[in-house]
Amino acid sequence: MKEYEVYSEYMNGTKLGKVVRHNEHKYWGVHLSDSTSDNKGFLMWHPTKSEYWCEDIAENFCQGMIREDGSVRDNMYFAKGLHKA
């Protein structure tokens, strides 16, 4: 059995962002991958955030605002959902 279920996917060119939900703990996460990269992607869990929060991360990744490792590109903190706390 997989650790998570995919709820939605965002794609732009070679970038794919999947919104996932953990099967046992029921928290949300995002799997980010780029087909031009050598690795298998990056899975981030956000136990205190909503599905919509994770959708924003997946969309921002596909638009190039977030790197595959989940870090935010310079000058992108005003992108949807990326404001500094």
Segments making up each domain of the chain, as ranges: 4-62
Q: Among all chains, which residue has been given the structure tokens 């935010």?
A: 72
Model confidence at 75: pLDDT above 50: yes
Cα–Cα distance between 17 and 9 in angstroms, integer? Answer: 6
Residues 8-67: pLDDT tens digits? 999 999 999 999 999 999 999 999 999 998 888 999 999 999 999 999 999 999 998 888
Contact 73, 66 (CB under 8 A): yes
Cα–Cα distance between 70 and 42 in angstroms, integer? Answer: 7
Q: Among all chains, which residue has been given the structure tokens 């029921």?
A: 26
